[in-house]
Each structure stands twice: as C-alpha cells, then as structure tokens.
A and B are shown apart, each in its own frame.
Chain A
C-alpha cells in the first residue's frame, strides 16, 4: 500500500537523520506548546476575571437616589430624591423585566463586639433577594437573611468571611452572638470565600448584612441609601434601567431624562468591557503563539526542501518508474504532516502537563489555564494548516522535477 511505503520512508528518514528530525520536531513542539499555553492561559485569565466580576453579582444594576439636575413640573433643580421601600415595591410592579430587587440601608459607624474584640465594619440592611443577587453565598451550616427574618425584624446578622475571622478567629460563628452597638445579634451565616474585583461599599468579605426591617427600626431609617435590581438576561438591563427611572420619575415628579436624579451602575458594562478587552488580549496571545508555530513550520519547510533536494535522484527515478505527481506530492506532504503531527502531539502533551501541574498559588492571580475543546481545536487547526503549507511548497518543487535532469545526478 502507498501509505505503508510512505510510512517506511518516513521511518527511514527519521532513523538516518536523527539530529535533523529532532531539531525539526523541536520547533513544532515548542510552537504547539506556545500556542496552546498562550490560549489556555488567556482562557484561564478570562474565566478568572469573569468570576471576579460576577462576584459582585450577575446582571445586576446598582442605583443611588441622588439630586435632580433639571427643573420639571414646576419643581426646581437640585431637589433631593428619597426612595422608600414602598417606592421600590411600585417599581417592582411596574417593571416586569426586573427579576429581583432590594433596597439597601448602609451604616459605617456601628461597633461590632465579640468578647473583647471590637471592629467597626461596613454593614447593610437588605431583604432576602439581595443575597442571591450579590452572590452572598453562605458556607455550610449558615444562611443569608431570609423573608421571615425581615417580616419578624429578627436581630440576626450575616458576616463576611474576613469579618468573621476577625471577630471569631477559627471558632464556629453561626449561632454565636455579636453585640452591635450594645444590642446582641445572632450570627446566621458566614460568606463563602469568593472572587470579587469591584465593589461600591467595601468588599463583601469585610461587611455584615442585617434584615432591612431590623436595620430601619433600630437605626431609624426611612429612605434607602441605594437599591439593587437584577434582570434575567444581560440585554434586558438597558430597558429595565429606563423603566425603573421612569417609575421613580412618576412617583417623585422628576424628568425621566434626568440622568442624575438616580445614578445607576450597570455591572454588565464591566463584563462587556472585559469581554472586548479579553478578546483583544487573547487574540494577541493567540497570534504570538501562532507566530512561534509559524517559525517552527518554516523550519519544517526548510527541512523538507532539503529532503527534496537530497532525494532529487530518488524522486526522478520514481517518476521514471511511473510514479505520478500525486504520489510524489503525497509522499512529501505525508512526511511533513506526520512530523508536524508528532511534534504537535508532544507539544500538546507538554502544554497539558504544564496546565495540570500549575501551582495553586499562581491560579489565584492568573486563573487556572484550561486546554478547552476550543483551545485544542484552534491549535490543531493552526498546526494542520502550517504543516500543510510547510509541505506544500517543497512537494510542488518535487513534483515539478524533470526526471531526465534528476536522473543525470
């Protein structure tokens, strides 16, 4: 069979030209490992950044009632807009795009005491939905503020993991007591450690959450400091923001076009920016890796040119014996692709080993590199194309040999 003949020829070449084969393979191995690792690290970093952004919450918008910047309906500008829970319930009824909503009452000056330890962390009063929106997931054995806590104004508190360590050390906190400004509260849950790259108050790990009703009653608040809402799909956020402002504008009589009356931070904008940025970054990594592979490919192509030159006589003889050009082209292409494939497999193996043994300490900073199906497909595609091109030109040279000239050598 032709294939067997090609294969035997390849094995003979490899055996008789060990150093050359090694050098050729090295270029491809290195290039493949470079492409794969670049793509894998790009993907890992992207994943890590997305997780961080999502640490704040997915598809959420954070809104701060502020002051009007335009006159409207006979009312002057600079008027303070104060939002109550009732206003927010109206918003919830009027804007069906919203899937979750919670007001947030904040304080920065309350003393948390456990035994002799005292800390003054940031804290918020919210409803149960807040925990889901902001990914405030408890460690096992705990929970976030729930609806019953809110309706019964329970004196319970949910602690960020850092705050918990500060107050309790390694001891179990759930069920224990924290005294907040002289009033005892029961800890109901501790935040499970999470990535979070942005915040508007402080990192969640150093904060505490109370039921909104308890907070309002104890600290005498009527108006939310800010509120947070969530939509089902990323694309819903823009429309939802408009409708929320429109609802509040009707309630509080301000211009719905007034962009300052209620400030909004759409966290999706971060994601969008990050996606664009990461696409560029990963493209850059991919191109750098591919160029490395191209250099390897040029090496293979050179070697194959040398092979063709060395084999001129052999190729001429085969043509004289009736080998068609297909056969000659096939042989050179086969050798090139086989070498590329061997190098590629070795390179992928190296990349895989690097990814698998990537130290956990580093994962915290750059994410864990993943050789996903996407990465593997891209690498294989690039590799195949380079192998083909590297073989194509030498093969064409071989096929256009004049058998008479070749035999004269």
Chain B
C-alpha cells in the first residue's frame, strides 16, 4: 500500500555509523512546578534502528509521552544525550529543530490535532508548506497521500465532517507528508472505537512493511502484540525491552 513512499527499508544504511536512527543515553526530564519537582524521566537509554516497529507501554504518568516529545524534538531533555542519525540534537538551533520536526519526524496524536478550519487536503499540505514546497508539487503530494490512506473522496471535507478513524488517517497522511525517517504516535487509537482502531493498526503495519520506522505509545494490547519490539516504561525508566 505504501510501497512507493520512497522510504524503503534500505535507508538504514544512511544512518549513523552504527546504523542507529535514534540513540538516547541517560535522558532525564525534570519538571519544576513551584515547590514540587517531578522527575518524568530518570535516565532512559534507548536505541531505535531504521525500519523498526516499537511499541511503548506503561502505566499512566510513567513518562511515555514525555519520552516521545523528546524523541520528536518537541521538548528538550534536562540531561543526557540524544543523537538523531548520529547528530547531537542538543546542539541544534530552534530553526534546525523545526526543520527536523518537519522533514524527519511525523507525529500522530491521540486527539488527531487537525486544524478544524482547514480541509483534510489543507491539513496534509501544511508540513509541505513549511518545507517550502512549490504549490503544484504540494498539491500533487497531498492528493497522493490522501489517496493512499483511502480518503480520495474526502479531501475537501473539514475534520468535523469526518469520522474519528478518517481523521486519524488524515493525521497519518500529514505525518508522512515530508517522507520522515521516523513516525511517532502517542496512543493513536486511544480515541477510536475498536473497529477504527483495528483499521489504524493495519495502516501502521502497512507502513512498517513499506520500510517505515515506527514508535507507537499504546495502551492497546492489540498494537503491543503486533509490534515485534515492545518497550515498557515505569516511573520514568525503561523496565523491559523485548
């Protein structure tokens, strides 16, 4: 299904010397809200290779989302080292971080995070706009993506006119827009009924088959089972990785 998205499994070779896409070492994240300090992550080591499909599970409040925000370059860790394709992310400027989020990372959120005033098509266009793609190429790409996720006949619909599953497909199309190295999803089926959830799971599996790298936070045992590798987070630490 996603065969021609141009992100074949072979791209592992472009990665850092040891082939790792993401290397986290001793990552800590401390929140200081007034007198209370919360250590959301206390020393996380994690390596992702290109083409992997990894699920992240763990109890609520264990730090899964925090971890994902750091991997997605949305948030900066309090300590530790994060290398993306061998480059130290801590040294990136704000603009470079924006570029990384734009080109190398694709986010899928639990609550879809589509812009309600924009059509499905325009939502998918957004990252391409930020990438500076010309109007024509952008339109073609957005059309191609929406067709791939089976929404060719819903392109001009606003998010409010779409079902949850359809909205999440739009979000996935948007995440794929700039051919990212890594797709991050935070409970992508959390707001969906079980049949739409299964749909989305299939989409993820197809993406993986097509060579994409996926990191999916989930409470959904179905997803956790499908993923060949599952990481368990508890109290800001990785307690299991298999």
A residues with a Cβ closer than 8 A to B are 1-2, 4-5, 12, 16, 313-314, 317-327, 403-404, 407
Which residue of A has the minimal Cβ distance to B175? A321
Within B126-170, which residues are at the interface with A (CB < 8 Å)? 126-127, 129-131, 135
**Which has the most chain B C-beta neighbours within 10 Å: A16, A314, A325, A403?**
A403
Report whether B109 and A322 are in contact in the complex, using a CB–CB cutoff of 8 Å. no
Measured CA separation A403–B75 after assembly (Å) = 8
Q: Which residues of B contact A407 (CB under 8 A)?
A: 74, 109, 113
Report whether B130 and A321 are in contact in the complex, using a CB–CB cutoff of 8 Å. yes
16 chain-A/chain-B pairs, Cβ below 8 angstroms: A5-B129, A12-B117, A314-B115, A318-B126, A318-B130, A320-B113, A321-B102, A321-B174, A322-B101, A322-B102, A322-B130, A322-B178, A324-B98, A404-B69, A404-B75, A407-B109
Interface residues on B, range: 20 to 34
* A1-B135, A12-B117 known; A320 vs B107 contact (CB < 8 Å): yes
| B32 at the binding interface (Cβ < 8 Å) | no
| B193 at the binding interface (Cβ < 8 Å) | no
| B99 at the binding interface (Cβ < 8 Å) | yes
Measured CA separation A28–B99 after assembly (Å) = 37
Which residue of B has the minimal Cβ distance to A12? B117
Which residue of B has the minimal Cβ distance to A407? B113
Measured CA separation A70–B193 after assembly (Å) = 113
What's the least CB distance linking B185 to chain A, in Å? 13
Report whether A324 and B117 are in contact in the complex, using a CB–CB cutoff of 8 Å. no
Q: Which residues of B contact A320 (CB under 8 A)?
A: 72, 74, 101, 107, 113
Q: Which residues of B contact A313 (CB under 8 A)?
A: 113
Report whether A2 and B101 are in contact in the complex, using a CB–CB cutoff of 8 Å. no
Q: Which residues of A contact B72 (CB under 8 A)?
A: 320
Report whether A325 and B109 are in contact in the complex, using a CB–CB cutoff of 8 Å. no
Q: Which residues of A contact B98 (CB under 8 A)?
A: 319, 322-325
Q: Which residues of B contact A2 (CB under 8 A)?
A: 129
Interface of B is mostly: helix
What's the least CB distance linking B191 to chain A, in Å? 15
What's the least CB distance linking B110 to chain A, in Å? 11
What's the least CB distance linking B84 to chain A, in Å? 14
Report whether B107 and A321 are in contact in the complex, using a CB–CB cutoff of 8 Å. yes
* A322-B102, A322-B178 known; A317 vs B115 contact (CB < 8 Å): yes
Report whether B99 and A322 are in contact in the complex, using a CB–CB cutoff of 8 Å. yes
Which residue of A has the minimal Cβ distance to B132? A2
Partner of A322 from the list B69, B103, B117, B135 (CB cut-off 8 Å) is B103
Q: Which residues of A contact B36 (CB under 8 A)?
A: none
What's the least CB distance linking A317 to chain B, in Å? 5
Q: Which residues of A contact B95 (CB under 8 A)?
A: 324-326
What's the least CB distance linking A124 to chain B, in Å? 79
Which residue of A has the minimal Cβ distance to B174? A321
Which residue of A has the minimal Cβ distance to B114? A317
Which residue of B has the minimal Cβ distance to A16? B117
* A1-B135, A404-B75 known; A321 vs B109 contact (CB < 8 Å): no
Q: Which residues of B contact A16 (CB under 8 A)?
A: 117
Q: Which residues of A contact B174 (CB under 8 A)?
A: 321
Q: Which residues of B contact A322 (CB under 8 A)?
A: 98-99, 101-103, 127, 130-131, 178
| B1 at the binding interface (Cβ < 8 Å) | no
Measured CA separation A261–B126 after assembly (Å) = 87
What's the least CB distance linking B125 to chain A, in Å? 9
Which residue of A has the minimal Cβ distance to B135? A1
Report whether A404 and B74 are in contact in the complex, using a CB–CB cutoff of 8 Å. yes
Report whether B74 and A324 are in contact in the complex, using a CB–CB cutoff of 8 Å. no
Q: Which residues of A contact B75 (CB under 8 A)?
A: 404
Measured CA separation A324–B103 after assembly (Å) = 12
Report whether A317 and B113 are in contact in the complex, using a CB–CB cutoff of 8 Å. yes
What's the least CB distance linking A397 to chain B, in Å? 16
Measured CA separation A2–B98 after assembly (Å) = 16
Measured CA separation A5–B129 after assembly (Å) = 9
Which residue of B has the minimal Cβ distance to A324? B98
Which residue of A has the minimal Cβ distance to B70? A404
Report whether B130 and A327 are in contact in the complex, using a CB–CB cutoff of 8 Å. yes
What's the least CB distance linking A179 to chain B, in Å? 89
What's the least CB distance linking A9 to chain B, in Å? 8
Q: Which residues of B contact A324 (CB under 8 A)?
A: 94-95, 98-99, 130
Measured CA separation A16–B118 after assembly (Å) = 13
What's the least CB distance linking B55 to chain A, in Å? 21
Measured CA separation A325–B129 after assembly (Å) = 14
